[in-house]
Structure 1
Amino acid sequence: MTYSTKQLADLAGVTPRTLRYYDKIGLLKTQRDPDNQYRVYTQDEVDRLQTIRFLQLFEMPLAQVKVLLDGPAENLTVALKQQRKRITAKRDQLSLLLTTLDQTLEKGVDTMTDDEKFAAFKDQSIKANEQQYGEEIRQQYGDDIVEASNKKFRDMSQAQVAQLTALQQEILDALKPLVGTTDFNTRRQNASSNCTSNFYK
C-alpha cells in the first residue's frame, strides 16, 4: 500500500509541511509518482516515519535521529537501551517522590520523623551512585559489601550526611586549581580510591 503526502500526514499525526521538510533534509526520502511527480510513500517510508516519531518522544534532535537511522542497526539498539536506562532512572526518581509525598499527606510534616523526611533523598542518592558507579564498585568490592554500605548510608543521620557531603565538596575544591594537570589526575584518582575504600570497608 502507498500513501500520498496528505494521507500519511493524517495517519502519523503530522502536517504535510513536516513530511516535505523531512524529505528536504534527507530524513524521510520519498518516491515520485512517474505520472504526476507527486510524492508517494511506500511501506518502507511508513515504517521509517514511525521510528522517527518514536525517537522524537525522547526529545532527540532530528540530526541525531537521521544518524541513527542511516547507520548500523546496532547503533539504534544501543541508543534505545540508553533511553530506557534514562527513563527507568526518571521513573525511580518519581516513585521516590511519590513515596515522600504520600507520607507527607498521610502523617503531615509535623508528625514525620526526621529519617522519614529525608529517606527518599538518601534512596535517590544511592540509586544515582548505582547508575554511575554500580558495576565498577560491585566488581571491586562484591554485592554484600556494597549493600551493607548502602544500608550504612541510609542509617546515617542528616548531620552525618551533611558532613560527608561537605567532605566531598572540600576534596573537589582542593583539586580545582590542579584541573588539566598530570598532578590533578593522580590526586583525583588517589582521593577517589581512598574515599571509596574507606566507605566500603
Structure 2
Amino acid sequence: MTYSITELAKLAGISTRTLRFYDKKGLLEARRDPENNYRYYDEAEVNQLQKIMFLRLFDLPLNQIKKILEDSGAIQYQALCDQRKKIIAEQHRLSDLLVNLDETLATMKGASVMSDTEKFAAFKAKAIDDNEIQYGKEIRNKYGETTIDDSNRKFNSLSETDMIHLEELTNQILTKLKALVGTHDFKLPAAKRLFDLHKEFLLVHWSKEQYSPEAHRNLAAMYISDKRFTKYYEEGTGKKGAAKTLKEIIDYYA
C-alpha cells in the first residue's frame, strides 16, 4: 500500500515534520511522484520507519540508527534483538514499581506493613536498570562484568539514609561544578572540594577495592567522550563545558 506523508504520519502517530527530518537525514527517504513531486511511501519505507521507531525507543542517536539501517540484515536483526531486551527490562521495572505501589497503598489502608528496605527496593532497581540501559555496554566494556555487577549489588543494598546522602552528594556536585565551569585554576579550594565530593559519590557505588585514581580518571574521560554524560552535566548545571571542567578537575587531583 502507498501512503502520502500525511497518511504515514497519522498511521505511525508521529508528525509530518519528523518524517521530513528523517528524509533530510537520509534515514527514511521518501519517493517522489513524477507528476507533482509529492512525497509518498511504499511498503519498504513503512517497514524502515517501524525499525527506526523501535530503535528510537531508548534514545539511540540518529547517526547510529542510520549506520545500523545501512548495514546488513543480520546487524539490523541484532540491533532489534537488543531493543527487545531493553523493552523486557523496562517491562520488569514497571512491574516491580506497580507491585511496590500496590503494597504502599495496602499499607496506607492498614492491610499490610512494608519494611523500610521494601519501600525503596523498586526505586533502586529502577536506577540500576536505567543505568544499564543508558551506559551498561560502555561501562561493562571499560570496567568488566564483575566490577559492574559488584557495584550494582552495593547500590541495591543501600539504606534509606545512604540514598538520601547520595542525592545530597549529587546536588552538591552539580552546585559546586556550576560555579567552576570554565575555570583553569584547579588549585582553588572549591575545585578540590568538588573532586572530594565526586570521589565520595563514587565510593557510595564502588567498593574501596574498586576505586583507584586511574579508574576515576577513566570514568571522567567518558564524561566528554559520551554525549549522554556531557548532556547530563550541562543540563544539571545549565552551563556548556560543565563535563569538560569536571574531567579536568578530576584529572588534576586523581
Cα deviation for residue 143 of structure 1 reads: 3.3
Q: Aligned pair 1:160/2:162, yes or no?
A: yes
Separation (CA, whole Å) in 2 of partners of 1:88 and 1:124: 13
- Percentage of identical aligned residues: 29
Q: Aligned pair 1:200/2:197, yes or no?
A: no
Separation (CA, whole Å) in 2 of partners of 1:81 and 1:129: 20
SS in 2 for 1:108: helix
Cα deviation for residue 133 of structure 1 reads: 4.1
Cα deviation for residue 156 of structure 1 reads: 2.2
SS in 2 for 1:180: coil
Decide whether aligned partners of structure 1 residues 179 and 103 sit closer, same or farther in structure 2, where only a CA change above 3 A counts.
same
Q: Aligned pair 1:127/2:129, yes or no?
A: yes
Q: In angstroms, what is the RMSD of aligned CA positions?
A: 4.9
Mean alpha-carbon deviation: is it higher for 128-137 or for 93-102? Answer: 128-137
Decide whether aligned partners of structure 1 residues 112 and 73 sit closer, same or farther in structure 2, where only a CA change above 3 A counts.
same
Q: Aligned pair 1:177/2:176, yes or no?
A: no
Separation (CA, whole Å) in 2 of partners of 1:13 and 1:198: 47
1:61-140 equivalences under 5 Å are 68=66, 73-74=70-71, 77=76, 84=83, 87=87, 90-104=90-104, 107-109=106-108, 110=110, 111-139=113-141
Cα deviation for residue 113 of structure 1 reads: 1.7
Decide whether aligned partners of structure 1 residues 47 and 112 sit closer, same or farther in structure 2, where only a CA change above 3 A counts.
same
Q: TM-score, normalised by structure 2?
A: 0.47
Whether the aligned pair in 2 keeps the contact of 1:28 and 1:48 (CA below 8 Å) is: yes
Which amino acid is the alignment partner of residue 114 of structure 2? M
Decide whether aligned partners of structure 1 residues 13 and 118 sit closer, same or farther in structure 2, where only a CA change above 3 A counts.
closer
1:8-19 equivalences under 5 Å are none
Q: Aligned pair 1:52/2:54, yes or no?
A: no
1:98-131 CA distance string (max 9 Å, x none): 23134346x5345222221211001111222333
SS in 2 for 1:112: coil
- Unaligned 5+ runs, structure 1: none
- Unaligned 5+ runs, structure 2: 208-254
Decide whether aligned partners of structure 1 residues 173 and 45 sit closer, same or farther in structure 2, where only a CA change above 3 A counts.
same
Separation (CA, whole Å) in 2 of partners of 1:50 and 1:139: 32
Whether the aligned pair in 1 keeps the contact of 2:117 and 2:159 (CA below 8 Å) is: yes
Whether the aligned pair in 1 keeps the contact of 2:128 and 2:152 (CA below 8 Å) is: yes
Cα deviation for residue 144 of structure 1 reads: 3.4
- Choose the corresponding residue for 1:151, options 150, 153, 157: 153
Separation (CA, whole Å) in 1 of partners of 2:185 and 2:76: 39
Cα deviation for residue 158 of structure 1 reads: 0.8
Please tell me whether Structure 1 or Structure 2 has the larger radius of gyration of its CA atoms. 1
1:54-85 CA distance string (max 9 Å, x none): 645768xxxx7xx959x96139949x659927
Cα deviation for residue 4 of structure 1 reads: 7.0
Separation (CA, whole Å) in 2 of partners of 1:72 and 1:54: 8
Decide whether aligned partners of structure 1 residues 191 and 101 sit closer, same or farther in structure 2, where only a CA change above 3 A counts.
closer
Structure 1 runs (4+) greater than 6 angstroms displaced: 3-6, 186-190
